[in-house]
Amino acid sequence: MSGFNNRMASSIPVVGPLFDKATAAAGAAIQPLMSEDARKKTFGERYTENLAMQDEANRRYAEERPVASTAADIAGTGLLLGPASQTALGARMMGLRGNSLGARVYQGAAGMGALETTNQLLKGNNPLDQGFLGPVPIAAAGGALGPMFGEAISSGANQLMQWLPRRTGELAGVNSVGRNMLVNTLEGETPASIAEARRRFGSSGMLADVNQATTDLAGGLADIPGHHKQIVREAFRQRAAGQGSRIMQSLDQNTVPYVSVADMTRGIEQARATGADPLYNQFRTMAVQPTKQVKALIPRLEKAGAFDLAEELSGISGNPINRKFFTGGPQKEFPTAETWDYVKRGLDRRISQALDKGKPDKELARELLNLKGELLAEIDKTPAGKVWQKARETYAEHSELLHQIEEGQKTFARNTRYDELAHELINLSTPERAARLQGARDAIQQVIENSVRGDTTARNMLLTKAGRQKLELLFGKKRSDQLVADLEAEVLGKGKVENVIGGSQTTPKRERVGAMLPAPSEMGYVSNLDFTRPASFIPEWMKPQTIMEGARAQRYSDAYSQIAPLLTRKMGAQDFNALTQELLADRSRLSGLQKRLDQAGQAATLAIGVSGPALRNRLLDDVDTQGSRSQSRR
């Protein structure tokens, strides 16, 4: 065991020679105390003899135990290089760190060469006398080969692992070129950011919409000829064509479902015919005895023209009213609830007229709305008020429903604030409000259906600040927010469509001109021959470079066709999450793999640096052994 330890200690670079010298010097110092012969020699002679004895002992150990001596050399070198590799200077001297492979090679060669030069000088050897195959050149060569071998393991194995095709998962069948394209576009994304993209683009969004990188990738595929171009362009064209139907679906879900006025009227008539008719008859015949407050409103109603319009409406409907109801004097006959309803409807039309002027008279409309509110409140206080109120919540004439639908259709066209709209809605009965909401919904639908770009017009109309406030007032915050989100998704989607498949007007012109020009022809084989260049005798298609370029181009072409369906996968699809999760995991997987391979490459570099001196010593020991045997034979 002492032979192994001595050999190991001597093999430590720089430290080993110093240790041997210290041991020889210590022995030379104490030998005179132990031997008469030693006192006859000088300190230098004893020191030299001790060093020679140590070298001879190490040589004999290597001859008798070749494997153990090699292990001792590796262990000794590792005692220094192992800890040194953890330092910045030591790592650079061994080629473990550097901005590039070239830098690591140069640093490794210089560092290991300098270390071995110091080692040889401490041993008393002149590196200049050892030749080109001496310890210093071999150490420098090992320092250069270590980073190369480590890079081969790190990069080469990484390329191989990436090149291997996937057999399962969402990326099965996609080659490494396509996988890298997709994974790189999602760099920096997280599950939360992708979920936010899904919220912004809705179910019609695609993987290509996640960020600008995915959009650019889809746009590139849409411009490069091939089957992938058709896949991408068709997906975006279909999304653009379906914008109107998606907006209609969102309207049905987040406003009110479409119901025709005929159906609304029919529903009220059926309710009237199935048991509620006595209430309707009571509404039509029950007199409303005016209170002082109601009588005080009559001059104001007369001034507003409500009675004129009420008389006109009642006459058209076949239920004419008696204007003498509203005059003063000791009358015993009073207006019925139905008669007052005509007056209220007359006020509604007067309000509508004020708002429909070329320059809306909002002040007049506001005063008329206040008057209407006072009228309803005062009649509600009369003995007939309960019948009046219940009838208004149950019935509505066909003409009144039409009027409220018309008013609803003007919701977004009128230049009224949402608080003014709220004032209009406050005194509407249930059927009237339902008709008003239906009208507002119809207004959006009519814009979509009555123009070529109606879906875009409706979308822009509703996304204004005033449009959003009115939506919230009419349909509630939750449903209006969802409708706005759907409309904003269409805005973003339209921008993506223009980005990916849109183009300038000059582009199709160039394509049309190019399609009619003769195709450029390539020079033939014979015309390329040059007898002064023998390489020209080989056809271009037979050259290795051409073959490699063709194979590379084919892999890229295959990748385009493989990733086009993935880029156009809808965010609303069930397997969209699985696809994005696999892409994000692939980035992490590749990063972890690269880290492990980098560690393996550094370990290989360090292993070469540690084992290089041992192998060199082994070769030198073999040479010394053979030389000794030759001399003994002589």
d(CA 598, CA 38): 57
Query: Could you tell me the two tokens for 587?
Result: 């980035």
**How high is the pLDDT of residue 544?**
58
**How high is the pLDDT of residue 591?**
66
d(CA 176, CA 184): 12
Helix spans in 187-275 (H): 191-201, 212-223, 227-241, 243-254, 261-271
**How high is the pLDDT of residue 195?**
92
The DSSP call for residue 33 is: G
Q: Are 113 and 143 in contact (CB under 8 A)?
A: yes
d(CA 312, CA 323): 11
Phi, psi of 570 (to 5 degrees): -70, 145
Phi, psi of 152 (to 5 degrees): -60, -40
- The contacts of residue 308 (CB under 8 Å, 6+ apart) are 346
Q: Are 340 and 288 in contact (CB under 8 A)?
A: yes
Q: What CA–CA distances, in Å, run from 359 to 380, 404, 414?
A: 34, 21, 10
Of 575, 592, 573, nearest to 172 (Cα)?
Answer: 575
Helix spans in 124-226 (H): 135-151, 157-163, 176-185, 191-201, 212-223
- The contacts of residue 412 (CB under 8 Å, 6+ apart) are 440, 443, 444, 461, 462, 467, 470
Q: Are 396 and 432 in contact (CB under 8 A)?
A: yes
Helix (H/G/I), strand (E/B), else coil: 206: strand
**How high is the pLDDT of residue 58?**
77
- Residue 398 CB-density burial (10 A; 0-12 exposed, 13-18 middle, 19+ buried): middle
- As a whole number of angstroms, the longest Cα–Cα distance in the chain is 162
Tell if the pTM clears 0.85, that is, is over it.
no
- The contacts of residue 441 (CB under 8 Å, 6+ apart) are 251, 255, 256, 258, 408
Q: How many CB atoms lie within 10 A of CB 48?
A: 15
Give residue 283's region: left, alpha or beta (phi > 0; psi -120 to 50): alpha
**How high is the pLDDT of residue 302?**
86
**How high is the pLDDT of residue 617?**
64
What are the boundaries of each domain within the chain?
1-64, 259-451
Mean per-residue pLDDT pooled into runs of 10, the chain (634 residues) = 76 79 81 76 80 81 79 78 80 78 81 81 78 77 78 65 69 86 89 91 90 91 89 91 84 83 73 63 76 86 87 82 68 75 86 82 88 88 80 72 83 81 84 87 73 65 83 88 84 84 58 52 54 59 54 82 93 90 78 67 73 66 49 46
d(CA 621, CA 110): 25
- The contacts of residue 534 (CB under 8 Å, 6+ apart) are none
